[in-house]
């Protein structure tokens, strides 16, 4: 709920008229009114060109009519008022995405003195029964059953989708962070259980049953959860820093460079962290054995909650199509080539340090960078002639980007840890664990990169092999 309220606040701040800002912003910022995003309709999910909700001009304002579905916190009584941001079309708007406008539609109309007035003509028809996120009410909303819901235009007509995209970048990044958070929570819970649950003997000998954390496969599962959560978090923070620089740095060239990097990486943070968090939450259940599958432990809840993250704010395919099309092919892979250069610098630094762990981390990263480079070259050279082939491998490519960029961060962390250990600075056990986790990541996660490269470059033929009748 706070995420969507922040999105609504941002849209108002950036594009709202002063009078609207004055009425709505203070209450939304202090948290007594909450915000929603109303995009989805039964026939318009990933494809917002199909939005049908109508906005009929009435004086300076509009009357909104239509149905929206799946609206997060669309109805509740936790706040005094709900401020809906709604996509709708004016009567003479052009077809498709260029004819969509953005409106503010409050649940309760606001009087001139700021007090709440009568109920607006927007009503909740039902609340969805969902697989997970049971604490988040997801509503079907009907606008304009009677006279029409009073709506106030944000910015200019027909530019609504563009304004929504300003918020969507932040919202997509935030859902990526949801993936990081669920992964870490699932890991913490599995770790606590693995230290407590006694089962099986130690392979090294001794007759007594031991906590399962001493079983090598449980170690493998815990390390895969820990390593992936750390890699996802580090990558998300690097992208967050780029967003800050793009926003505030006085140097315009640097701002543009970081904006291009953030634009390319936001679909990766969103898509990769969320796809991975489902796997991590599932592994968390496996660590628990049978009690993970029953509800009492809470391990299953992480998996049920994780499952939505690859769907809302754009499914993984929508992220990966954006990545290969708008963010890569359109600019000839220029930003991706800069990224490859930056990763090669770290590979070079790894070559300067001694030790088997660091050599292994370097080998994994080098193979990963090569896989990304070959995939980018193929995408850029194929997109114009055969976009379907590129889209057929876009989700595997997004995963490849996530894995390798995560490996880049794990390698950077290992380099810092190595320096601190050599200088005998700080907590040695913490730094040794960083190097050990980066090595695990190289051998178990980065190792997937060459296979994903083959899927991206060669996989389209198999994806498109059957006619629709042959399925």
Ligand X SMILES: Cc1cc2nc3c(=O)[nH]c(=O)nc-3n(C[C@H](O)[C@H](O)[C@H](O)COP(=O)(O)OP(=O)(O)OC[C@H]3O[C@@H](n4cnc5c(N)ncnc54)[C@H](O)[C@@H]3O)c2cc1C
User: What residues make contact with ligand X under the rule CB under 6 A?
Assistant: 36-40, 45-46, 70-72, 130, 138, 308, 311-312, 314-315, 317, 321
- Angle in degrees, CA 166, 48, 143, rounded to 5: 95
Q: Which run of H or E residues covers position 199? A: strand 198-201
Half-sphere exposure of 248 (CA within 13 A, CB side): 6
Closest distance of CB 68 from ligand X, Å? 7
Place of tokens 């590979």: 347
Between 96 and 200, whose beta carbon lies closer to ligand X?
96
Closest distance of CB 48 from ligand X, Å? 9
Between 151 and 314, whose beta carbon lies closer to ligand X?
314
Between 197 and 327, whose beta carbon lies closer to ligand X?
327
Q: C-alpha distances in angstroms, 334 versus 143, 341, 360, 379?
A: 45, 11, 29, 12
Closest distance of CB 284 from ligand X, Å? 21
Between 45 and 155, whose beta carbon lies closer to ligand X?
45
- Residue 352's contacts (CB-CB under 8 Å, 6 or more residues apart) are none
Closest distance of CB 316 from ligand X, Å? 7
How far is the first Cα of the chain from the last one, in angstroms, to the nearest whole number? 41
Closest distance of CB 87 from ligand X, Å? 8
How, if at all, do strands 149-153 and 61-72 pair?
antiparallel
Cβ(180)–Cβ(233) below 8 Å:
yes
- Position of minimal CB gap to ligand X: 45
Between 75 and 184, whose beta carbon lies closer to ligand X?
75
Closest CA to 1 of 30, 28, 35: 35
Between 36 and 276, whose beta carbon lies closer to ligand X?
36
Half-sphere exposure of 34 (CA within 13 A, CB side): 16
Q: C-alpha distances in angstroms, 119 versus 149, 296, 324, 380?
A: 9, 41, 45, 53
Between 283 and 316, whose beta carbon lies closer to ligand X?
316
Closest distance of CB 310 from ligand X, Å? 9
Cβ(466)–Cβ(392) below 8 Å:
no
Cβ(228)–Cβ(445) below 8 Å:
yes
Q: Round to whole Å and give the CA distance between 207 and 251.
A: 66
Q: Round to whole Å and give the CA distance between 244 and 258.
A: 9
Closest distance of CB 312 from ligand X, Å? 4
Between 12 and 365, whose beta carbon lies closer to ligand X?
12
Among the options 41, 275, 313, 373, which is catalytic? 313
Closest distance of CB 257 from ligand X, Å? 29
- Angle in degrees, CA 466, 470, 471, rounded to 5: 90
Q: Round to whole Å and give the CA distance between 345 and 168.
A: 32
Q: Which run of H or E residues covers position 371? A: helix 356-382
How, if at all, do strands 209-211 and 198-201 pair?
antiparallel
Q: Round to whole Å and give the CA distance between 248 and 260.
A: 15
313 in active site: yes
- Tell me which residues are annotated as active site: 313
């Amino acid at each position: 709920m706070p995420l969507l309220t922040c999105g609504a606040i941002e849209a108002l701040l950036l594009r709202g008229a002063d009078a609207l800002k004055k009425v709505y912003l203070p209450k939304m910022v202090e948290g007594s009114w909450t915000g929603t995003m109303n995009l989805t309709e039964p026939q318009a999910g990933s494809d917002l060109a199909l939005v049908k909700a109508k906005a009929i001009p009435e004086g300076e304002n509009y009357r909104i009519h239509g149905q929206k579905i799946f609206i997060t916190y669309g109805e509740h009584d936790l706040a005094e008022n709900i401020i809906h941001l709604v996509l709708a079309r004016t009567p003479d708007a052009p077809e498709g995405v260029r004819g969509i406008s953005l409106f503010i539609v409050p649940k309760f109309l606001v009087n001139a003195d700021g007090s709440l007035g009568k109920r607006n003509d927007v009503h909740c028809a039902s609340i969805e029964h969902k697989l997970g996120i049971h604490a988040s009410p997801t509503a079907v909303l009907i606008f304009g059953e009677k006279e029409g819901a009073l709506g106030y235009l944000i910015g200019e007509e027909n530019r609504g989708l563009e304004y929504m995209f300003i918020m969507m970048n932040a919202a997509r990044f935030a859902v990526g962070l949801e993936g990081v958070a669920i992964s870490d929570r699932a890991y913490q819970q599995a770790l606590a259980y693995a230290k407590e649950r006694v089962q099986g003997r130690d392979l090294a000998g001794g007759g007594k049953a031991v906590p399962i954390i001493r079983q090598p496969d449980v170690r493998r599962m815990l390390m895969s959860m820990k390593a992936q959560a750390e890699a996802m978090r580090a990558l998300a923070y690097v992208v967050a820093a780029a967003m800050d620089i793009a926003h505030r740095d006085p140097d315009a060239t640097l701002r543009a460079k970081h904006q291009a990097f953030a634009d390319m990486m936001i679909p990766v943070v969103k898509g990769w962290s969320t796809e991975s968090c489902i796997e991590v939450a599932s592994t968390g259940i496996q660590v628990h054995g049978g009690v993970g599958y029953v509800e009492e432990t809470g391990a299953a809840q992480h998996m049920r909650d994780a499952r939505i993250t690859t769907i809302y704010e754009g499914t993984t395919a929508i992220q990966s199509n954006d990545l290969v099309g708008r963010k890569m092919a359109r600019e000839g892979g220029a930003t991706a080539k800069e990224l490859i250069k930056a990763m090669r610098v770290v590979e070079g630094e790894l070559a300067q340090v001694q030790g088997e762990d660091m050599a292994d981390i370097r080998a994994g990263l080098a193979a990963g960078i090569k896989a990304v480079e070959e995939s980018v070259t193929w995408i850029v050279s194929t997109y114009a002639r055969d976009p379907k082939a590129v889209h057929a491998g876009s989700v595997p490519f997004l995963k490849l980007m996530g894995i390798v960029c995560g490996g880049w961060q794990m390698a950077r962390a290992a380099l810092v840890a190595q320096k601190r250990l050599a200088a005998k600075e700080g907590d040695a056990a913490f730094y040794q664990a960083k190097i050990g986790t980066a090595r695990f990541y190289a051998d178990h996660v980065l190792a997937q990169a060459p296979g994903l490269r083959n899927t991206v470059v060669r996989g389209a033929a198999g994806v498109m092999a059957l006619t629709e009748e042959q399925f």
